[in-house]
Amino acid sequence: MQLPESQVAVLEAANADEATPVDALAAATDLPPETVTGAAFELEEQGLVAVTERVDETISLTDEGRTYVEDGLPEVRLYEAALEAGADADPVPMGQVIGSSGLEGAEVDIALSNYARKGYGSIDSGEIMADPDADPAADPEANALESLADGGTLEAGDVLDQLERRGLAEVAESTIREVELTEQGVTELMAGVETAETVGQVTPELLTSGDWQDVEFAEYNVEADAETVEGGRVHVLREMSERVKDVLVGMGFEEMDGPHADADFWINDCLFMPQDHPARTHWDRFALEQPTHIDELPEDLVERVERAHREGVGEDGEGYHSPWDEDFARALALRGHTTSLSTRYLSGEEIGEIEPPARYFSVEKAYRNDTLDATHLLEFYQIEGWVMAEDLSVRDLMGTFEEFYAQFGIEDIQFKPHYNPYTEPSFELFGTHPTTGELIEIGNSGIFREEMLEPLGVDCDVMAWGLALERLAMLATGAEDIRDLHGTLADLEFLRNAEVTY
Amino acid sequence: MPTVDIDPDELRELTGHEEKSDEELQEELFGLGLEFEGWTEDDEFELEFAPDRLDRLSVEGVARSMRYQYGDARGVHVPSTNSAEWTIEVDESVPDERPYVTGAVIRDVDLDEDGLDSLIQLQEKLHATMGRKRAKGAIGIHDLTMLKGSPATEGNPTIRYVGVEPDGDRFVPLDSDAELTPAEVLEEHQTGREYAGLVSEYERYPAIYDDVGLFSFPPVINGRRTEVSTDSRDLFVEMTGTDQWTIDKMLNIVCYALAARGATLEDVRVEYPDSELVRPDLSTKTKRVAHDRIETLLGIDLDPDEVIDLAERSGLAATRSENEATGDDGSSITPLEDRDGLEERDSPTGSDESKAEGVSTDDLVYEVAIPPYRVDVLHPLDVIDDLGRAYGFNDLEPRYPEVGTVGGRHERSRLERAARTQLVGLGFEDMLNFHMIDEGQNYERLGVEPGTDAYGAGEPATIKEPYSEDYTMLRTWCLPSLLQVLENNTHRAYPQHLSEVGFAAELDETENTGVGEGRHVGAVLASHGSGYEDAKARLQALARDFDVELETPATEHPTFIPGRAADVVIDGEVVGVVGEIHPKVLVEHDLEVPVAAFEFDIEALR
């Protein structure tokens, strides 16, 4: 059978022939007596030992008792002084005897009150008589004190009672437990007893029975690794997206939503991208085979956009010297950037006219028909944001983006003048990698051109920027292959071990 | 982004700054927006450029910009041209698709190997950018001495732009020894095959003749007879295209580049059947730019003289508009023929001496002259951008705009987040899969027939000419993606409880785009002992979380084991499917554990 370690020790130390006191077992097992007692009761419950209890009395001398062992009992000393004074023949005055006895203070009273009681003589009218037949050497009380002082004991009885009453000895009671192997215990020992774990699990029984007070809880290796737990968790890229959204909402941006498959009109024409721009015919565009064209576009908007492309905007404006065809604009594609959401919102088509000031954002998918490798995906999340207000300046743009990137620990933004067909001025944004210190491109930005805004019916300034969420996530998580993060090639191990982003 | 190769030695020579180190040059080029990408095999800088300043596609143009940056040049410089001797006559037979031509004569060029390489690179880069791979504009450069033009009128030599029969006259094209007809060039010549698509649909092919015969077959190839070499002294540049403005601008850029090497420009008459042009057109263009707009856009206060100085340093020329009376004629500066060599002026930054007291700049407008090589200035805004670059955008102090707005999430995005949070609480690992997939993965491998009633069997929105056969359509449901993740992770620890709140789309005629786009809640439970009840239990938990009523009447679905599949009915509507995945689907995905799954439209949780 299996028993906890302390029980095994007690069982092995106990004897079938005679009861062993707990103290002896404690000494034998090198366990604290309380532990031995607890183990003994556990063993008794299982019928392996019998525990007997008796109450033991221990008698000990008081300080006064010990003094009398040295000096002799006061009544005895009085008797001896009385004999000297010849009180065995004639009465002797009390004062004389006491003086010669050396008794002082309280001892005098004690001597007098016990003198007659114990038959040493009599006291009458201030005179003392001594019984010549009395034997101080046989004084039972004195002998009992002597014996106790020598470590002896004393049977219960009149003498003990007297000593107790006189405050010369004290009696203390203690419970002595003794343990004896039962037959079953012997049998189990013969069969072999192994050390079992002590109590591991806290069970309802343990709690309700109150046994938890007596049991020994197994000690665990609290430093050891525990088993691996795979709880549910949010995708690491999604965490990053949520963080970006938190930041933008905190900066006063409202979220946009709109179609993934959209007309080129919204994706490019409204952005003042000429129809023969290389990006529009480039093979990286995901044109749709089915369906091919959007059903309807807002007619007056189409007219205004076409005019901007052909003639430009404003008294000194010039258009592109490029063809423009509505059918081409109606062709459907998977959006190559989420700026199609911005054009839809700015046009008033999506949620009605937007009055300045306004801030809008999205963190949504864009599609590029590009080579799939460690840093490029066919689908990626684009962070897109714009601010609409009167008289926005390049400095406002810089201030806004510095604030945004600072939220991600990217300081010291550099603004490199750049070219986009739909913004002027335009800037590529560079930041310093927090760990490598490398200067990396982290976004593209600018102030929307009037050729874009005027047809959309916007007559104040709009500044905008965009960047790939994956780029931010790779910076933040240290991921080296974007495919581990995103898509069906995802490695669950990687996702399970990825550091939480917050 | 496109790149251009620049020889740093040539750059030093053309800018007159022999002392500049390679590193200094690279840094200064970065300031112009030309990013150093590395060295070429010929020890040249490979520079990446944004495709707006197409006048910087060769070392000559880059050197010009750097001279403005250094302050060695100011204002607008227009080279002079000698009057026309040569004429290009445009014949009625020219193909309607490519009706326009332009040209110039360049004399006294001194082309060494580097100069010739630079000219060829400029031609190629212009073809690739403005020329839209020669479709919109194509350049032919010829050795003038090899051309024979009969004096059609008053002794002026003439070449003719005509349309010819594909199998008509023969000529010897560049890089060939054989006499070929244009049609044969398209079939037999390497360059011909490359550009055949540009003209093969034409009834007649474009061709240019002199007295000797056909010497150019634009936009495909020139003839060998007029090939330019380092010995060439005089050049004839012709360009054809679909837009007159475009080829004229391309011509200007080439003329400026050659003039920078000391050549003399000479006009060419272009005679259309009903009109006549003189080219190159090196006239400047004017934009009116309001002072106020400059200040608001840059976010700084500027002195009018400072604006004029910034313009000059940008290679522009700004004058106060005559339409507004300033009473201050001292600041008016006319376009300069050539300010090179003039003593350097102090930067007016911080100099207030010319700022007349009390003169308001509220209505101040500048007339800004734009040099003829600039193709990117469409609007006054583009001028302000130039002024900002000259000022130094990085010298501007960022400021956070004092504009108060209220932020918030889109309702759909909040709903998705809530669903995702509940799924994660139920122990699912959140997935993020591609929206694109192929038909095999989306339908076949799950046993589903497209266009049937089964959940997920909707007709797909498909990609035209897909780059990868793995991504040919938008997925109609999420389960195929989730099963693929299971398939790719069979070596990873189970259980694998995966979920996705993701995009799915199918054809829908009632939508304006023809595509019905939605978000689905999909989940798979893969582990030893996974069963229908595990999926249903979690589905029930979701329904309870969102306080909707869930029913699961038995259904048949080819992806699931018969008798262990049910419709997901929420608040009385069929919105999805739940069940145990059929062994044939499991085996197809190399799975060796049972998988229970569900998927439904998230709109049902609203």
Interface check B70 vs A, CB under 8 A: no
The pLDDT tens digits of the residues spanning B502-529 come to: 999 999 999 999 999 999 999 999 999 9
Distance from CA of B233 to the nearest CA of A (A): 34
DSSP lists the bridge partners of residue B503 as: B519
Tell me, yes or no, whether A293 lies in a domain.
Answer: no
- Domain span at residue A153 reads 61-172
How many angstroms separate the CA atoms of B43 and B13, rounded?
16
Asked if A64 and A73 count as a contact pair (C-beta separation under 8 A), the reply is: no
- Closest residue by Cα to residue A337 from A295, A283, A380: A380
pLDDT at A233: 93
Pairing of strands B550-551, B560-570: antiparallel
Same structural domain, B235 and B312:
no
The answer as to whether B405 is a domain residue is no
Position B337 scores a pLDDT of 43
* pLDDT tens-place values along chain A, 502 residues long: 778 778 888 888 888 888 888 888 888 888 888 888 888 888 888 888 998 888 887 888 888 888 888 888 888 888 888 888 888 888 888 888 888 888 888 888 888 888 888 888 888 878 888 888 888 888 888 888 888 888 777 777 888 888 888 888 888 888 888 899 998 888 888 888 877 656 777 888 889 988 888 777 877 778 878 878 888 999 989 999 999 999 999 999 999 999 999 999 999 999 999 998 887 876 678 999 999 999 999 999 999 999 999 999 988 889 999 999 999 999 999 999 999 999 999 999 999 999 999 999 999 999 988 777 777 788 999 999 999 999 999 999 999 999 998 888 887 888 888 899 999 999 998 887 767 777 778 889 999 999 999 999 999 999 999 988 887 777 666 666 777 777 778 889 888 888 888 8
User: Can you give the residue range of the structural domain that contains B37?
Assistant: 3-70
Give the number of A-B residue pairs with CB atoms closer than 8 Å: 276
Task: Give the C-alpha separation, B139 to A289, whole Å.
Answer: 35
The dihedral formed by the CA atoms of B548, B549, B552 and B556, expressed in degrees to the nearest 10: -60
Q: Is the pLDDT of residue B321 over 90?
A: no
Q: What pLDDT does A196 receive?
A: 64
Any idea how long chain A is? 502
CA distance B482 to A107: 103
The per-residue pLDDT for B325 is 43
* pLDDT 10s digits, B88-132: 999 999 999 999 999 999 999 999 999 999 999 999 999 999 999
Is residue B314 domain-shared with residue B221, that is, in the same domain? no
Buried b (16+ CB within 10 A) or exposed e, B313-328: bbbbbbbbbeeeebee
Residue A307, Ramachandran bin (φ over 0: left; ψ between -120 and 50: alpha; else beta): alpha
Contact B484 A237 (CB under 8 A): no
Listed residues B245, B264, B279: the one ending a domain: B279
Compute how many other C-beta atoms are within 10 angstroms of the C-beta atom of residue B556.
12
Last residue of a domain, one of B213, B247, B279: B279
Please say if the pLDDT value at position B351 is more than 60: no
Q: Which of B393, B427, B495 sits opposite A394 (nearest CB)?
A: B393
Contact yes or no for A326/A288 (Cβ under 8 A): no
Cα–Cα distance for residue pair A169/B374, rounded to 1 Å: 123
Q: How many domains does chain B have?
A: 4
- C-alpha distances (whole Å) from B223 to each of A154, B141, B173, B228, B411 are 142, 10, 4, 11, 65
Is residue B355 predicted with pLDDT exceeding 50?
no
* Residues of chain B positioned with their CB less than 8 A from the CB of A252: 403-407
Q: Is residue B491 part of a domain?
A: yes
Report if residue B298 sits inside a domain. Answer: yes
Beta partners for B196?
Answer: none
The CATH number that applies at residue B318 is: 3.30.56.10
| Number of Cβ atoms within 10 Å of the Cβ of B337 | 12
CA distance A213 to B29: 82
Cβ(B576)–Cβ(B601) below 8 Å: yes
Q: Model pTM greater than 0.90?
A: no
The model's pLDDT over A287-315, given as tens digits with 9 standing for 90+, comes to 999 999 999 999 999 999 999 999 999 88
Q: Please check whether residue A325 lies inside any domain of the structure.
A: no
Classify residue B415: in a domain, yes or no. yes
Q: Cα(A2)–Cα(A195) distance, rounded to whole angstroms?
A: 6
Boundary-marking domain end, from B258, B279, B300? B279
CATH value at residue A399: 3.30.930.10
Q: Are residues A344 and A444 in the same domain?
A: yes
Which pLDDT belongs to residue B391?
93
A17 with A89, same domain: the answer is: no
Give residue B322's pLDDT band: very low, low, confident or very high (50, 70, 90): low
For B226-253, the pLDDT digits (tens) are 999 999 999 999 999 999 999 999 999 9
Q: Which of A172, A197, A222 is the last residue of a domain?
A: A172
Q: What is the pLDDT of residue B336?
A: 43
**Which residue type occupies A420?**
N
pLDDT at A198: 67
Residues 281-300 of B with CB under 8 A from A: 286-288, 296-300
Read off the tokens for B482.
């989730």
pLDDT score of B324: 53
- Does residue A177 form part of some domain? no
* A261 contacts B513? CB cut-off 8 A: yes
Q: Are residues A45 and A104 in the same domain?
A: no
Among B32, B281, B434, B521, the strongest candidate for a mutation testing the A interface, having the largest count of A CBs within 10 A, is B434
Instruction: Kindly state whether residue A432 falls inside one of the protein's structural domains.
Output: yes
A443 with A470, same domain?
yes
Q: What is the pLDDT of residue A64?
A: 87
- Token representation of residue B299: 């976010």
DSSP string, B412-448: HHHHHHHHHHHHHHTTPEE----SEE-HHHHTGGGTP
Q: What whole-number distance in Å separates Cα of residue A389 and Cα of residue B401?
A: 9
- Collect all residues of chain B within an 8 Å Cβ-Cβ radius of residue A313: 379
Same domain for A124 and A199 = no
CA closest to A366 among chain B residues? B435
For chain B, say whether A259 makes contact (Cβ under 8 Å).
yes
Max CA-CA distance within chain A?
160
Q: Within this chain, do residues B175 and B255 fall inside the same structural domain, yes or no? A: yes
Average pLDDT of B144-148? Answer: 91
- Tell whether B20 is covered by a domain: yes
User: How many distinct helices (H) and strands (E) make up chain A?
Assistant: 21, 18
Of all residues in chain B, what percent carry a pLDDT higher than 90? 86
Q: What is the pLDDT of residue B152?
A: 53
Measured in whole angstroms, the distance separating CA B484 from the mean position of its chain's CA atoms is: 36
Q: What is d(CA B132, CA B98) in angstroms, rounded to the nearest whole number?
A: 14
Asked, for residue B138, whether it belongs to a domain, the answer is yes
Q: What is the pLDDT of residue B335?
A: 42
Which one, of A463, A460, A452, lies nearest residue A320 by Cα? Answer: A452
Q: Which residue has the higher pLDDT, B426 or A128?
A: B426
Which of these, B113, B108, B105, B130, lies nearest to B2 by C-alpha position?
Answer: B130
Number of domains comprising chain A: 3
B429 and A233 in contact by Cβ < 8 A? yes
Give the N- to C-terminal CA distance of chain A in Å, as an integer. Answer: 54
A21 with A107, same domain: the answer is no
> How far, CA to CA in Å, does A81 sit from each of A68, A94, A112, B386, B575?
16, 11, 13, 135, 120
Whether ipTM exceeds 0.90: no
- Shared domain check, A93 and A41: no
- Give the range among A471-485, B329-343, B413-427, B503-517 with minimum mean pLDDT: B329-343
Whether B107 contacts chain A with CB within 8 A: no
Shared domain for B581 and B471, answered yes or no, is yes
Residue A251 in contact with partner chain B when CB distance is under 8 A: yes
Gap between the Cα atoms of A437 and B206, Å rounded: 56
Q: Which residues in chain A have their CB less than 8 angstroms from residue B492's CB?
A: 491-493
* B350 located within any domain: no
Between A37 and B407, the more confident residue is B407
* Chain B interface test: which of A379, A394, A483 (most B C-beta within 10 Å): A394
Contact A419 B51 (CB under 8 A): yes
Q: Where are the beta strands (DSSP E) in B527-583?
A: 550-551, 560-570, 573-581
CATH code at position B247 = 3.50.40.10
**Measuring CA to CA, which residue among B123, B134, B138, B139 is closest to residue B57?**
B123
CB contact B301 to A (< 8 Å):
no
CATH number at residue A25: 1.10.10
B461 and B374 share one domain: no
Residues B121 and B239 in one domain: yes
A282 within some domain: no
Is residue B208 domain-shared with residue B290, that is, in the same domain? no
Looking at the structure, tell me whether residues B448 and B539 fall in a common domain. yes
- Tell me the mean pLDDT in the region B431-454: 96
In the block, tokens 């150019």 appear at: B216
Cα gap A206→A202, rounded to integer Å: 6
Buried b (16+ CB within 10 A) or exposed e, B513-534: bbbbbbbbbbbbbbbeebebeb
Verify whether the Cβ–Cβ distance A316 to B389 is below 8 Å.
no
Going by DSSP bridges, is the β-strand pair A379-389/A461-468 parallel, antiparallel, or unpaired?
Answer: antiparallel
Residues A122 and A193 in one domain: no
**How far does A270 lie from chain B, in Å, by closest CA?**
17
Q: What does R_g of chain B's alpha carbons equal in angstroms?
A: 34
Residue B223 pLDDT > 80, yes or no?
yes
Question: Do B512 and B584 lie in a common domain?
Answer: yes
> Which of A114-118, B119-123, B283-287, B349-353 comes out lowest in average pLDDT?
B349-353
**Residues in a beta bridge with A463:** A387, A447
B396: three-class secondary structure by DSSP? coil
Together in a domain, B30 and B91: no
Which parts of B148-211 are beta strand (E)?
151-153, 156-164, 205-209
Q: For position A173, what pLDDT does the model report? A: 80
SS3 B125: helix
Beta strands, E only, B165-234 = 205-209, 214-217, 221-222
- The verdict on A349 and A429 lying in the same domain is yes
User: Does residue B252 share a domain with residue B187?
Assistant: yes
User: What span, in angstroms and rounded, lies between the C-alpha atoms of A456 and A346?
Assistant: 6
Q: Are strands B429-430 and A127-130 parallel, antiparallel or unpaired?
A: unpaired
Interface of A with B in 184-223 (CB under 8 A): none
SS3 A117: coil
**Contact status of B246 with chain A (Cβ, < 8 Å):** yes
Asked if A74 and A46 sit in the same domain, the reply is no
Four-residue CA torsion sign, B307, B312, B314, B319? positive
Cross-chain Cβ contact A400/B400 below 8 Å: yes
Residues in B closer than 8 angstroms to A231, CB to CB, are 427
Residues in chain B: 606
Do A124 and A256 lie in one domain? The reply is no
Q: Cβ B503–A367 below 8 Å, yes or no? A: no
Per the domain annotation, does B381 fall within a domain?
A: yes
Q: Closest to B380 (Cβ–Cβ): which among A314, A393, A415?
A: A314
Interface test with A, best of B300, B410, B590 (most A CBs within 10 A): B410
Same domain, B487 and B582: yes
Angle at CA B522, nearest 5°, toward B602 and B468? 110
Q: In the 8-state DSSP scheme, what is residue B223?
A: B
Residue A283 lies in a domain: no
For chain B, the maximum distance between any two Cα atoms, rounded to a whole number of angstroms, is 99
Range B540-567 average pLDDT: 97
CATH of the domain at B538: 3.30.930.10
Query: Do A163 and A21 fall into the same domain?
Result: no
Judged against a pLDDT cut of 50, whether residue B193 lies above it is answered with yes
Residue B26: band (very low, low, confident or very high) from pLDDT cuts 50, 70, 90: very high
Does pLDDT of B67 surpass 90? Answer: yes
